[in-house]
Chain A
Amino acid sequence: MKTKNTYKNILLLLAVIALTVFPLVYVSGAEFGGADGQAEAVIANINPGYQPWFSSIWSPPSGEIESLLFALQGALGAGVICYYLGYKKGKKKAEKD
């Protein structure tokens, strides 16, 4: 049962990886910029007179700092997730023994 589940999970992960890699191959040469940057351009197009009336209070000073914070976000999220699963796994085992 358990191995069957592991098997399924590996398949699920492979599917996600395939979905992620596919666009890189399929539309290679694309910029892979952000969807919201494009939206900004569309707003400028539809509503040429529009001026954003408020701007961000603080923004990360560089792309490097941004990716630092960004990696941290993923790491911390994953940390809590794995902590919980590890905790529950250990607890389950302890109860069994």
Chain B
Amino acid sequence: MNNNIKKTTVYLFTYLLLASMLAPDTAYAMHIMEGFLPLKWSVLWYLLTLPFFAMGLVSINKTVGMNPKLKMLLAFAGAFAFALSALKLPSVTGSCSHPTGVGLGTILFGPVVMTVLGSIVLLFQALLLAHGGLTTLGANAFSMAVAGPLVTWCVYKFSRRAGAPLWLAVFLAAALGDLMTYVITSLQLALAHPDAVGGVMASFSKFTAIFALTQIPLAVSEGLLTVLVFNLLYTYSQDELVELAIIPGEGALVK
């Protein structure tokens, strides 16, 4: 039985890996395009992302080592990010963007775990799908897989401590994390391409108008979808949620 689960997990991971290899992020994703950051910024964002990536690897090892049962849920969180980042959605600005899907995994496993999963997605997209890029991978990983998850994590912890019900905390965390990803993307572009007259701030407001504004309704959608999936996990996967200390051991209905 245990062996079977192991086998299933291996298949799932292979499946996921293949999925990520084949996964095109949309032509119109939020990722910074290949070659669009000068070398010094490319290097800087790589350096900033690396420590989080390393911590993520340690964290995954620890989580899975302590409880191999959670591997499947980890695959689930990864799959959620894949599926969501495949959804190119229209926005009120008349252009399209897509959610990140890393919020769910962040709430379940912590921010640095999603640094690893998010970076893997971005790497394959850069290599095989011409979305984002190798030179901008560090920057894109920083916005989607470091900054977004960190904000999600903080908002989640803070809301829970402030007494918000689980569904509300999940919604706010996922939505704000999603939005933050695009704010950081705008900032990264502004720092690399300051406006000749207004400097970084003028540039930042131009990029924010494109990325962040488009993203607002999508961030709400991501929040709602994350709550939806959380409800399903609450119904069918309560043991894992208890083990991850998301919900208390006995009963106490949160939603």
> Residues on A close to B: CB < 8 A?
1-2, 5, 8-9, 12-13, 15-16, 19-20, 22-24, 26-27, 30-40, 42-43, 46-47, 50, 52-60, 66, 69-74, 76-81, 83-85, 87-89, 92
Residues of B contacting A26 in the complex (Cβ-Cβ under 8 angstroms): 92
Residues of B within 8 A of A2 (CB): 235
Q: How far is the CB of A7 from chain B (nearest CB, A)?
A: 11
Contact of B94 (CB < 8 Å), options: A32, A58, A60, A83: A32
Most buried by B among A30, A32, A73, A84: A73
A84 CB, nearest partner CB in chain B, Å: 4
Q: How far is the CA of A54 from the CA of B77 in the complex (A)?
A: 32
Size of chain B's interface in residues, with CB distance under 8 A?
A: 82
Q: Is there contact, CB below 8 Å, between A80 and B19?
A: yes
Task: Check if A81 sits within 8 Å of B92, measured CB to CB.
Answer: no
Q: Does B33 contact A (CB under 8 A)?
A: yes
Q: What residues of B have a CB within 8 angstroms of the CB of A42 in the complex?
A: 206-207, 210
B193 and A50 within 8 A (CB): yes
Select B210's contact among A15, A38, A60, A71, beta carbons within 8 Å.
A38
Using known A-B contacts A19-B221, A22-B92, A60-B129, determine if residue A84 contacts B72 with beta carbons closer than 8 Å.
yes
B54: interface (CB < 8 Å):
no
